[in-house]
Amino acid sequence: MSNDEFDMSSEDEAALVAASARVTNAKRDRSHEVALRPGKRSKITNKTNTAPSHNTVLANKILKEHFNLDGFRLEQEAAISRLLDGNSAVIVFPTGGGKSLCYQVPAVAFKYQDQEDGSRASGYHGITLVISPLIALMKDQVDALLRNNIKAAVLNSSVSRDQYLAVHDDLRNGRLDLLYCAPERLNNEGFIATLKAIPGGIRLLAVDEAHCISEWGHSFRPDYLKIARFAEEAEVERVVCLTATATPKVSEDILTAFSIPKEGLLRTTMYRPNLRLLAEANPKGTDYEAKLVVHLKANPGPTIVYITQQKAAMELAATLKSKGFPAKPYHAGMTPELRTQTQDEFLGSENMIVVATIAFGMGIDKPDIRNIVHFDIPDSIESYCQQIGRAGRDGKPSTCMFYLSTKDFHIRNIFTYGDRPSLHSLRLLFKDLCSPHRKELNVGDTFTVELYTQSRDVDITPTILGILYAQLELHFKLFRAAGTQYNRYKYTVKDRRILDNDISPAAHAIKGASKQLQKWTHIALDELTASTGIPRADLVRTLETWNEYDAIDLRKESVSHVFRLLRPLPSSATEINDIITHLDSSMGATEQQNLARTKSLIDLITSKQCFSRSLAAYFGETKNLPKACMHCTWCETHTQVVLPNEPPLPPDEAKVRNVLDAVGVRDDPRFLAKIAFGINSPRITALKIKQTGVFESMNVCDFEALVSVFRKACGEE
Ligand X SMILES: Nc1ncnc2c1ncn2[C@@H]1O[C@H](COP(=O)(O)OP(=O)(O)OP(=O)(O)O)[C@@H](O)[C@H]1O
Q: Which residues bind ligand X (CB under 6 A)?
A: 69, 72-73, 76, 93, 95-101, 244, 363, 365
Q: How many CB atoms lie within 10 A of CB 463?
A: 14
Closer to ligand X at the Cβ: 104 or 416?
104
Residues in the chain: 717
In angstroms, rounded to a whole number, what is the distance separating the alpha carbons of residues 224 and 518?
45
Work out whether strand 520-524 and strand 515-517 pair parallel, antiparallel, or are unpaired.
antiparallel
CB of 220 to ligand X, least distance (A): 18
> Distance (Å, rounded) from C-alpha 282 to C-alpha 644?
7
Given the complex with ligand X, which of 265 and 510 has the nearer CB atom?
265
CB of residue 371 to ligand X, shortest distance in Å: 18
Closer CB to ligand X, 96 or 123, in the complex: 96
User: Does residue 51 sit in helix, strand or coil?
Assistant: coil
Report the nearest approach of ligand X to the CB of residue 193 (Å). 30
Q: How far is the CB of 386 from ligand X (least distance, A)?
A: 8
Nearest approach in angstroms of CB 514 to ligand X is 48
In angstroms, the CA 254 to CA 683 distance is 37
Is the CB of 168 or the CB of 267 nearer to ligand X? 267
Q: Whose CA is closest to 684, among 693, 675, 694?
A: 675
Residue 363 Cβ vs ligand X, minimum distance, rounded to whole Å: 6
97 vs 217, beta carbon nearer ligand X: 97
Min dist. Cβ of residue 455 to ligand X (A)? 31
CA distance 310 to 333: 7
The set of residues, in sequence order, having a beta carbon less than 8 Å from that of 64 and lying 6+ positions away, is 70
DSSP assignment, residue 182? -
Eight-state DSSP code of residue 405? -
Chain residue whose CB lies nearest ligand X: 98
| Residue 640 identity | Q
Rounded least distance, CB 150 to ligand X, Å: 13
Cα 693 to chain centroid distance, Å, stands at: 35
Nearest distance in Å: CB 381, ligand X: 16
Closest contact distance (angstroms) between CB of 71 and ligand X is 6
Quick one: 95 or 471, whose CB is closer to ligand X?
Answer: 95
- Our CB check for ligand X shows the closer of 96 and 326 to be 96
First to last CA, the chain: 35
The contacts of residue 210 (CB under 8 Å, 6+ apart) are 90, 224, 241, 242, 243, 246, 254
| Cα-based distances in Å from 408 to 280, 284, 442, 449 | 13, 9, 51, 37
d(CA 382, CA 360): 16
User: Closest distance between ligand X and the C-beta of residue 473, in Å?
Assistant: 29
DSSP code string of 580-624: HHHHHHHHHHHHHHHHHHHHHHHHHHTSSS-HHHHHHHHTT--SS
How many alpha carbons lie under 13 Å from residue 329 in its C-beta half-sphere?
Answer: 19
**Rounded to the nearest whole angstrom, what is the least distance from the CB of residue 254 to ligand X in the complex?**
15
Closest contact distance (angstroms) between CB of 73 and ligand X is 4
**CA angle, 601 as apex, 615 and 75 as ends, to 5°?**
30
CA separation, residue 411 to residues 283, 405, 602, 604, 690 (Å): 16, 11, 15, 20, 17
Beta carbon of residue 101, minimum distance to ligand X (angstroms, whole number): 5
Nearer to ligand X, 388 or 694 (CB): 388
Q: Starting at the edge strand that comes first in sequence, how are the strands of the sheet with 127-131 ordered?
A: 152-155, 178-181, 127-131, 202-207, 238-243, 89-92, 265-267
**Looking at beta carbons only, is 91 or 629 nearer to ligand X?**
91
Inter-residue long-range contacts of 464-470, CB under 8 Å, 24+ positions, other chains counted:
464/419, 464/420, 464/421, 464/587, 465/429, 466/1, 466/6, 466/222, 466/223, 467/222, 468/421, 468/426, 468/429, 468/583, 469/561, 469/563, 470/222, 470/223, 470/225, 470/226
CA 337 vs CA 141, 163, 573: distances in Å: 19, 22, 51
Least distance CB 451 / ligand X (angstroms): 29
In whole angstroms, how close is the CB of 325 to ligand X at the nearest point? 26
How far from the centroid of its chain's Cα atoms is residue 565's Cα? 25
Looking at beta carbons only, is 140 or 289 nearer to ligand X? Answer: 140
User: Distance between CA atoms of 153 and 105, rounded to whole angstroms?
Assistant: 16
Closer to ligand X by CB, 93 or 469: give it: 93
* Smaller CB separation from ligand X, 101 or 353: 101
Q: How far apart are CA 524 and CA 532, in angstroms?
A: 12
Task: Select 64 or 599, whichever has its Cβ closest to ligand X.
Answer: 64
Q: Which is nearer to ligand X, 188 or 247 (CB)?
A: 247
Closer to ligand X by CB, 71 or 444: give it.
71
The residue among 391 and 458 lying less far from ligand X, judged by its C-beta, is: 391
> What residue type is assigned to position 374 of the chain?
H
